[in-house]
Structure 1
């Protein structure tokens, strides 16, 4: 897809924390800069991997403001702003717009289960009306986590009612047939489809999708950048194979603590192991197993990491 606002590789960025579980903005900004220098076209901050729902509204604003103040380009960030509350979603979305973000990622209202498409349409219609334009809204389809899926018919209604405002979707379902159905049905409207699964990057680009927004991108973005730049051919195929292998390594243990372990060991900064409950760090044996799964892929040491992040 041409002219996608976040076209390419977007890491679902980890949120760095101090020992007291406050936000470590310096470490997070440094990681963001490294990602943008090593294969990422954009940054999905404050999503599932960033533990957004473990932070209050004032903290979420603090994170976004702190990253911008530390030189992370607002236009490169797609922050998660979707909350069960309409007013919270609107407040965070307007805040992101005021800082210069071009788009935000919206979870559905996820507390009440099995809402109707009519109810979800009413919720998003209210968000669009209250935000008032000036920022693109991306839907976050992750039914395993939210238990509230976006049906194709609902996306059809939203894109018809709000063309150019409901701009795209991150599909973290792992169901490629669903991703392709979204591309086939809505890409002609300029609707951007992003895979939440690294193993589908090359395939979805070929089908007309916009790229990916992925957790493993915290560590494998170098190879994602190659796939996006080359698309086809031996180099792209080899890079896609690495994306697939590292995705499997990332999911060989609970995803968020797994990635924190990889970044902590790669950087020598144990602060990356800090994580808010109910998540917990990996136990020592599990941490070593996860690390060795990454080593076995050939991705370790991470390209450019020691010189561009840990050495700073």
Structure 2
């Protein structure tokens, strides 16, 4: 089965590497991007939740797009987060991302202000009208405090540049409802749903865990595409302890991903405050789950 996947199927929600003193590490970002693409990612999502977008500047976001675009060329799509709580600011970021060479925009619901659905819809339409880039709606109510309701998604699907959804809603019924009534490409934003959403017509995933095991998660999709459901299910189950350790053990995925990447000698560096690094006990547990995933 072939599903419409405008940015590819296997997209890593890439961390933003920082230097030891907390500055933006563009060389590290290029090396990590090349590493991820060479191991199965056909898209990279920058400056999202995992990319610590709340604590990077507008200039850093644009510089990151330029550096990663240079590193991967045409081998992978480059989508970048531009969503803020301010429509005007989001519009400016969208235009800067287009100039920097992005292929698409990840736009999260405006957080904190919690606009009603009609205002939320207008926000997304305004951002989509601001550039020529296609838009991925980012539905993550656990962080924003507001859902993009299914009926709002269905209306927004009529906009020619709103083409996809990163789904962190934990509402599987709503996701299937929207997929059944629109052409929006649905990407799993929660790694435990990677296979399940694909199985009902999802486009693939935008994964934090892919920072450390891109090839293992890509193999789940490849097995499914090949029609080997038992293998895809086994590989998804094999990754589950690592997914749980990284995403459901009380720390943000940014913290756990950077902890593992630093241990593996890959570009990552520190997290920016108010986040704090994982302690040694947590890192050891992450490493054990990582080794278990590789053993399968």
TM-score, normalised to structure 2, is: 0.90
Q: 1:240 aligns with which of 236, 240, 254?
A: 236
Per the TM alignment, residue 62 of structure 1 is displaced from its structure 2 partner at its CA by 1.5
Per the TM alignment, residue 75 of structure 1 is displaced from its structure 2 partner at its CA by 5.7
Per the TM alignment, residue 182 of structure 1 is displaced from its structure 2 partner at its CA by 2.6
- Tell me if the contact between 1:46 and 1:80 (Cα under 8 Å) persists in the aligned partners: yes
Distance 1:206 1:71 in 2: 29
What residue number does 2:135 align with? 137
Q: Structure 2 matches for 1:109-258, cutoff 5 A?
A: 109-113=110-114, 115-131=115-131, 134-160=132-158, 162=159, 164-186=160-182, 190-231=183-224, 232-233=227-228, 234-251=230-247, 252-254=249-251, 255-258=253-256
- Tell me if the contact between 1:14 and 1:45 (Cα under 8 Å) persists in the aligned partners: yes
What residue number does 2:65 align with? 64
What residue number does 1:306 align with? none
Provide the secondary structure at the position in 2 that maps to 1:77.
Answer: strand
**Number of equivalences:** 290
Provide the secondary structure at the position in 2 that maps to 1:105.
Answer: strand
Per the TM alignment, residue 74 of structure 1 is displaced from its structure 2 partner at its CA by 8.6
**1:217-252, CA deviations, whole angstroms, 9 ceiling, x for partnerless residues?**
111221222122221424323322233332112123
What residue number does 1:39 align with? 40
Provide the secondary structure at the position in 2 that maps to 1:291.
Answer: helix
Provide the secondary structure at the position in 2 that maps to 1:31.
Answer: helix
Per the TM alignment, residue 24 of structure 1 is displaced from its structure 2 partner at its CA by 0.6
Supply the RMSD in Å over aligned alpha carbons: 2.1
CA change 1:65–1:261 in 2 (3 A) is same
TM-score, normalised to structure 1, is: 0.86
CA change 1:182–1:17 in 2 (3 A) is same
CA change 1:104–1:17 in 2 (3 A) is same
Per the TM alignment, residue 72 of structure 1 is displaced from its structure 2 partner at its CA by 4.8
In structure 2, list runs of 5 or more residues that go unmatched.
none
Q: Quick check: 234-243 or 137-146, which moved more? A: 234-243
What residue number does 1:307 align with? none
4+ aligned runs moved over 3 Å, structure 1:
69-75
Provide the secondary structure at the position in 2 that maps to 1:20.
Answer: coil
Distance 1:75 1:89 in 2: 24
Per the TM alignment, residue 73 of structure 1 is displaced from its structure 2 partner at its CA by 4.3
Per the TM alignment, residue 17 of structure 1 is displaced from its structure 2 partner at its CA by 0.3
Per the TM alignment, residue 253 of structure 1 is displaced from its structure 2 partner at its CA by 4.7
Q: Quick check: 86-95 or 25-34, which moved more? A: 86-95
